[in-house]
């Protein structure tokens, strides 16, 4: 006699519903103006059909340095419908050297050294905003010094830094690390209630953005 499958289906459905309730409860706990900010107006995105998540950071920021291991572990868990990118924060006349460093490493396909840049500044105490020290750092890390300097000073890199400054201003970034979700929401570690709550908050805002996209279809 075939066993009745319904008890198992019932249990599965029960667990599914419990999961939905738990997710809804956690989702409802987020309060606009508290754990996150609603962008008004929403900012343009470049991710198309995918939900855009931007990490705003600065290499010299101790909180960004502290958050990096958590972020590095979290990124592979992002759903397939999310497009993730980093934007180095640029203040007027400040921080642009380290933004140049990020975009130079990106151009050279050397973002495997992203963590090492943080370590060099926060552990080794190097002043990588100084061009000579930055170029010497590149050489010590087996990057052609002249090639690094060429890309660092290039018009292409200058344009990328200018765009990073524009995004910094458009999103009103005053505290970092900060995350922008689909051009609509912004949260920071201080808004979320600490670094341990930052990424779970981003996860919930991704769900919110996904629901809003689905509602428009």
170 lies in some domain: yes
Q: Is residue 1 part of a domain?
A: no
In a domain, 79, yes or no: yes
User: Would you give per-residue pLDDT tens digits along the chain (217 residues)?
Assistant: 444 543 444 444 333 343 444 444 444 589 999 999 999 999 999 999 999 999 999 999 999 999 999 999 999 999 999 999 999 999 877 899 999 999 999 999 999 999 999 999 999 999 999 999 999 999 999 999 999 999 999 999 999 999 999 999 999 999 999 999 999 999 999 999 999 999 999 999 999 999 999 998 7
pTM of the entire predicted model:
0.86
Q: Is residue 27 part of a domain?
A: no
The pLDDT of residue 2 is 43
Three-state SS string over 120-134 comes to HHHCCCCCCCCHHHH
Report yes or no on 6 lying in a domain: no
Structural domain contains residue 28: no
Split into its structural domains, the chain has a count of: 1
Closest-CA residue to 113 (of 92, 139, 89):
139
- Looking up residue 45, the CATH number of its domain turns out to be 3.40.30.10
Residue 90 structural domain: 34-216
Distant-in-sequence, close-in-space partners of 118: CB < 8 Å, separation ≥ 6: 59, 64, 65, 68
In-domain check, residue 14 = no
């Amino acid at each position: 006699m075939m066993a009745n499958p319904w008890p198992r289906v019932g249990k599965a459905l029960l667990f599914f519903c419990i999961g939905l309730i738990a997710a809804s409860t956690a989702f409802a706990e987020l309060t606009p103006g508290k754990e996150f900010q609603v962008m008004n107006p929403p900012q343009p995105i470049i991710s198309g059909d995918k939900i855009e998540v931007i990490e705003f950071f600065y290499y010299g920021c101790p909180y960004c340095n502290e958050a990096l291991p958590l972020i590095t572990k979290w990124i592979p868990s992002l759903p397939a419908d999310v497009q993730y990118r980093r934007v180095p924060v640029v203040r007027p006349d400040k921080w642009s050297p380290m933004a140049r460093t990020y975009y130079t490493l990106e151009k050279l396909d050397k973002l495997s050294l992203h963590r090492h840049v943080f370590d060099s500044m926060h552990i080794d105490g190097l002043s990588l905003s100084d061009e000579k020290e930055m170029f010497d750092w590149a050489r010590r890390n087996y990057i052609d010094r002249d090639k690094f300097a060429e890309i660092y000073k290039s018009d292409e890199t200058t344009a990328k830094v200018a765009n990073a400054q524009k995004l910094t201003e458009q999103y009103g970034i005053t505290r970092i690390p900060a995350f922008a979700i689909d051009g609509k929401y912004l949260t920071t570690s201080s808004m979320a209630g600490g670094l341990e709550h930052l990424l779970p908050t981003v996860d919930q805002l991704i769900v919110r953005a996904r629901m809003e996209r689905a509602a428009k279809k």
